[in-house]
Amino acid sequence: AQRHKTATQGPCNTSKPSMLDFVNKAKWDAWKSLGSVSQEEARQQYVDLISSLVGTEAPAVAAQPTGSTKGFQTLLVSTEDNITTIRLNRPEKKNAITVEMYNELIEALDLAGKDDSVITVITGSGDYYCSGNDLNNFTKIPEGGVEKLAKESGELLRRYVKVYIDFPKPLIGVINGPAVGVSVTLLGLFDVVYATEKATFHTPFSQLGQSPEGCSSYLFPKIMGAAKASEMLLFNKKLTAAQACEVGLVTEVFPESSFQSEVWTRLKAYAKLPRNSLALSKQLIRVVEKEKLHAVNDAEVERLVERWLSDECMQAIMSFFQAKSKL
Amino acid sequence: AQRHKTATQGPCNTSKPSMLDFVNKAKWDAWKSLGSVSQEEARQQYVDLISSLVGTEAPAVAAQPTGSTKGFQTLLVSTEDNITTIRLNRPEKKNAITVEMYNELIEALDLAGKDDSVITVITGSGDYYCSGNDLNNFTKIPEGGVEKLAKESGELLRRYVKVYIDFPKPLIGVINGPAVGVSVTLLGLFDVVYATEKATFHTPFSQLGQSPEGCSSYLFPKIMGAAKASEMLLFNKKLTAAQACEVGLVTEVFPESSFQSEVWTRLKAYAKLPRNSLALSKQLIRVVEKEKLHAVNDAEVERLVERWLSDECMQAIMSFFQAKSKL
Amino acid sequence: AQRHKTATQGPCNTSKPSMLDFVNKAKWDAWKSLGSVSQEEARQQYVDLISSLVGTEAPAVAAQPTGSTKGFQTLLVSTEDNITTIRLNRPEKKNAITVEMYNELIEALDLAGKDDSVITVITGSGDYYCSGNDLNNFTKIPEGGVEKLAKESGELLRRYVKVYIDFPKPLIGVINGPAVGVSVTLLGLFDVVYATEKATFHTPFSQLGQSPEGCSSYLFPKIMGAAKASEMLLFNKKLTAAQACEVGLVTEVFPESSFQSEVWTRLKAYAKLPRNSLALSKQLIRVVEKEKLHAVNDAEVERLVERWLSDECMQAIMSFFQAKSKL
Q: Please report, for the domain that includes residue C206, its CATH number.
A: 3.90.226.10
The mean per-residue pLDDT over the stretch B285-305 comes to 97
Query: pLDDT tens, A55-81?
Result: 433 333 444 444 445 689 999 999 999
* Residue A14 maps to a domain: no
The mean per-residue pLDDT over the stretch B284-306 comes to 97
Lowest mean pLDDT, pick from A136-150, B96-110, C3-17: C3-17
Handedness of CA C12, C15, C19, C24 (dihedral sign): negative
The mean per-residue pLDDT over the stretch A253-265 comes to 98
Distance CA A131, CA A96 (A): 5
Interface of B with A (CB under 8 A): 205-212, 217-218, 221-222, 224-231, 233-236, 247, 292, 295-296, 299-300, 303, 306-307, 310, 312-313, 315-316
- Contact by Cβ (8 Å): C120, C113: yes
Task: Tell me the CA distances in angstroms from C297 to A228, B48, B169, C147, C157, one per residue in order.
Answer: 23, 57, 21, 20, 9
Q: List the chains bordering chain C where 3 or more Cβ pairs fall under 8 Å.
A: A, B
Question: What is the model's pLDDT at position C46?
Answer: 58
Q: Which residue has the higher pLDDT, A121 or A40?
A: A121
Distance CA A244, CA B2 (A): 45
Q: How many CB atoms lie within 10 A of CB A69?
A: 12
Question: What is the model's pLDDT at position B243?
Answer: 98
* Residue B268 maps to a domain: no
Nearest Cα neighbor of A95 from A124, A120, A71, A70 is: A124
What rounded mean pLDDT belongs to chain C?
Answer: 83
Do C251 and A231 make contact, defined as CB atoms within 8 angstroms? yes
Number of CB pairs < 8 Å for A and C?
Answer: 107
Residue B241 has pLDDT above 90, yes or no: yes
* Residue A176 maps to a domain: yes
Q: Which residue has the higher pLDDT, C167 or B22?
A: C167
Do C277 and A312 make contact, defined as CB atoms within 8 angstroms? yes
Lowest mean pLDDT, pick from A170-179, A209-218, C12-21, C36-45: C12-21
Residue in A212, A226, A315 nearest the CB of C281: A212
Q: Name the band, by pLDDT with cuts 50, 70 and 90, for residue C136.
A: confident
**Which residues of C are less than 8 Å from B287 in CB distance?**
299
Which phi-psi region, left, alpha or beta, contains residue A59 (left: φ > 0; alpha: ψ -120 to 50)?
beta
What rounded mean pLDDT belongs to chain B?
Answer: 83
Nearest chain C residue to B192 by CA distance is: C227
* Residue C28 maps to a domain: no
Nearest Cα neighbor of C150 from C292, C317, C31 is: C317
User: What domain range is C246 assigned to?
Assistant: 70-257+275-325
The mean per-residue pLDDT over the stretch B50-63 comes to 43
Tell me the three state secondary structure of residue B32.
Answer: helix
Q: Which residue has the higher pLDDT, C20 or A222?
A: A222
Distance CA C21, CA B138 (A): 70
Please state the domain count of chain B.
Answer: 1
* Residues counted in chain A: 327
Lowest mean pLDDT, pick from A305-314, B241-250, C43-52, C128-137: C43-52
- Contact by Cβ (8 Å): C290, C189: no
Residue in B274, B276, B285 nearest the CB of C233: B285
Residue B274 has pLDDT above 80, yes or no: yes
Question: What is the model's pLDDT at position A55?
Answer: 41
Nearest chain C residue to B266 by CA distance is: C235
The mean per-residue pLDDT over the stretch B309-315 comes to 88
* Residue B89 maps to a domain: yes
Per cent of chain C over pLDDT 90 is 67
Nearest chain B residue to A248 by CA distance is: B225
pTM metric for this prediction = 0.84
Question: What is the model's pLDDT at position C48?
Answer: 58
* Residue C212 maps to a domain: yes
* Residue A128 maps to a domain: yes
Do A223 and B225 make contact, defined as CB atoms within 8 angstroms? yes
Nearest chain A residue to B295 by CA distance is: A288
Decide: residue A37, CB within 10 A, 0-12 exposed, 13-18 middle, 19+ buried: middle
Question: What is the model's pLDDT at position A32?
Answer: 45
* Residue A282 maps to a domain: yes
Residue in C247, C300, C310 nearest the CB of B284: C300
Lowest mean pLDDT, pick from B47-56, B179-188, C142-151: B47-56
Query: pLDDT tens, C110-126?
Result: 999 999 999 999 999 99
Residue B21 has pLDDT above 60, yes or no: no
Distance CA B195, CA B250 (A): 7
